[in-house]
Chain A
Amino acid sequence: MNDSSYILIEGVAQRFKTQRGEFEALRQIDLRIAKGEFVTLIGHSGCGKSTLLNLIAGLTTPTSGLLLCAGREIAGPGPERAVVFQNHSLLPWLTCFENVHLGVKRVFGAGSRSAGAKSENKADLAARTHAALELVGLSHAAQRRPGEISGGMKQRVGIARALAMEPKVLLLDEPFGALDALTRAKLQDELLEIVARTHSTVVMVTHDVDEAVLLSDRIVMLTNGPSATIGEVLTVPLARPRQRVALADHPTYLQCRKEVLDFLYTRQTHVHKEAA
């Protein structure tokens, strides 16, 4: 294994048994993701991009093919591959602090599974939790419950929960899909900052072309399902840090954007009409 194939996906296919027989969601997926790289998976609804993310997360196992992370086979979910879920999935009966703390305690606390790691005491764990909430600018809401905060704040808690575990890979499943445009832009900027600071490897599912171009190093475009596969991979050669406003009329940005739009709406258009 080397750094250019930190996540290695080889010949992966995923088929589901349904009442109308077998359904092939993904076929022949081959992808290498480098350490510290930001990759987005983009495609129309139902193209299997979330299925692919779940496979990397280890929440599901592939019908055939191989998935490696840091040279080891992905056999199940784990805190080294933290997931930010589309609908935030915070536990409504816990405060924001407790939601984040749940994972922190498991990864760094007594009886943690990270072999050899010295377990931290209560104060250290609380400090980690607070630091994660501070990273997403939510220190003031630590003692509030998810039902008492806005959608954008909930999603930030979800990101804090994932980041607090210091994952090797951050997996984001349409994290900003349910947010309004302004909140989404703000969180995208925050995510850019956080990723620049933590040098995380990120795989993100999105259907927002601007989001993909703004955030990614590479954009992986999936063909329409069923039997979706990787149609095209676009490298975004924009320097970091990226500024949303400055990029708005940047020729490279516009070119990348056009290429993705062209793929999605010219070459992979037919399912879109059904999904809409």
Chain B
Amino acid sequence: MVSAVFHTPRPLESGHAASAPAAHAHAPTAPAAQAANLARSPQGLRWDVSAWPPQVVPPLLGLLLLIGLWHLAASGGEGQFPTPGATWSAALELFADPFFVNGPSDVGIGWQVLSSLERVGLGFGLAALVGIPLGFLIGRSVFAGRMCAPLISLFKPVSPLAWLPIGLLVFQGTEAAAIWTIFICSIWPMIINTAVGVQRVPQDYLNVARVLNLSEWTILTQILLPAVLPYVLTGVRLAVGTAWLVIVAAEMLTGGVGIGFWIWDEWNNLNITNIIVAIFVIGLVGLLLEWALVSIARAFTFEEVKS
């Protein structure tokens, strides 16, 4: 669609991608591990699934099912779509040296991911610097809230990519434009969640502040900030999730080093295995980001705030 402005995909050439049927040998590793478990089970010849932790079996089953179906579909076709085995060996190859540099844009997958993360970090950090204080203002002042509500409602549903050309125009550079796009997409959840958090600070705490006659500064640091922090962190989590979604698309449009453009580049080279590897890498990085932020949020949420 939009990306076609920059790159015209060449027609598919068969046989290029699925070149490693020998890699099927990797697939039976999981059943082998199960067999080891089988030997240890008390019944001897029966699969003692009940001895496995219940949170392990279904996810494992899901993954195996995906790989199985994928394998069937890929080997049944004309060989255009890479099999799980081929993808695995491509991944091994890519991650054998993820940080090579062969030129300004020909760098290892590690650098591609890190460049994308850097853009996300910058855009997202700037959004936090603007969005969180703005959220506080909107939550604390009815006037500011009413002033900003229609603007937020208007701009929030707009795809952040629509802002990319504006970024290109204003900042005269693709790098800044990508960061700008991330800024736009991450600012909404942070503003909204912070404002909601401020509005939901228990009235009891504010009554305490009034009875103790606390100064505005003490109210902010001792009551508002700790009470709102869990909400802010929810906003941060949503923002990082969206930013990580958007960066791939933004980079496809802006080019340069980054996982998004790398995918597009691999498409132009018809290197489908690498694209699939990239999809898994993007998913994994997103998962790690989410996990890290959930851990932080949990550490800063007090029992009595949750209820």
Contacts and interface: CB of A to CB of B under 8 A. Distances in A.
A and B together in one complex = yes
A91 B223 contact: yes
A85 B207 contact: yes
Given A59-B211, A77-B213, A89-B204, 4 more contacts: A79-B212, A91-B205, A102-B212, A103-B212
A82 interface: yes
Interface stretch (B83-91, B175-183, B298-306): B298-306
Interface in A143-200: 146-147, 165
Nearest to A89: B204
B226 interface: yes
A57 B305 contact: no
A93 B305 CA distance: 9
- The A interface, classified by DSSP as helix, strand, loop or mixed, is loop
B302 A147 contact: yes
B218 interface: yes
Given A85-B204, A102-B222, A92 B304 contact: yes
A106 B214 CA distance: 7
B210 interface: yes
A125 B208 CA distance: 19
B218 A106 contact: yes
Interface in A74-99: 76-79, 81-83, 85, 87, 89, 91-94
Interface string A50-90: 00000001010000000000000000111101110101010
Interface residues of A, number: 24
Interface size class of B (residues with CB under 8 A): 10 to 19
Contacts of B304: 92, 146-147
Contacts of A102: 212, 214, 218, 222
Interface of A: 57, 59, 76-79, 81-83, 85, 87, 89, 91-94, 102-103, 106-107, 113, 146-147, 165
A113 B212 CA distance: 11
A246 B215 CA distance: 47
A146 B205 CA distance: 14
Contacts of A79: 211-213
Interface in B29-52: none
Contact of A93 (B211, B212, B218, B302): B302
Interface in B262-307: 302-305
A76 B213 CA distance: 10
Contacts of A147: 302-304
B226 A83 contact: no
B230 to A, nearest CB: 11
A106 B212 contact: yes
Nearest to A59: B207
Contact of A89 (B208, B213, B222, B303): B208
Interface in B202-233: 202, 204-205, 207-208, 210-215, 218, 222-223, 226
A46 to B, nearest CB: 18
Contacts of B211: 57, 59, 77-79, 81-83
B212 to A, nearest CB: 4
A215 B50 CA distance: 61
A57 B202 CA distance: 18
B204 A87 contact: yes
A92 B302 contact: yes
A91 B211 CA distance: 14
Contacts of B207: 59, 77, 83, 85, 89
A78 B215 CA distance: 12
Contacts of A165: 212
A270 B99 CA distance: 80
Contacts of B302: 92-93, 147
Given A85-B204, A87-B204, A102-B218, A92 B305 contact: yes
Contacts of B222: 91, 94, 102
Q: Would you list the 5 A-B pairs with minimal beta carbon distance, nearest first?
A: A89-B204, A92-B304, A92-B302, A93-B226, A77-B210
22 contacts: A57-B211, A59-B210, A59-B211, A77-B210, A77-B211, A77-B213, A78-B211, A78-B213, A79-B211, A82-B211, A83-B207, A83-B211, A85-B204, A87-B204, A89-B207, A89-B208, A91-B208, A92-B304, A92-B305, A102-B222, A106-B214, A113-B213
Nearest to B212: A103
A79 B213 CA distance: 6
Nearest to A111: B215
B147 to A, nearest CB: 24
Most chain A Cβ neighbours within 10 Å, of B211, B212, B213, B214: B211
Contacts of B226: 91, 93
B208 A85 contact: yes
A94 B222 CA distance: 8
B243 to A, nearest CB: 29
Given A91-B223, A92-B302, A147-B303, A106 B204 contact: no
Most chain B Cβ neighbours within 10 Å, of A76, A85, A93: A93
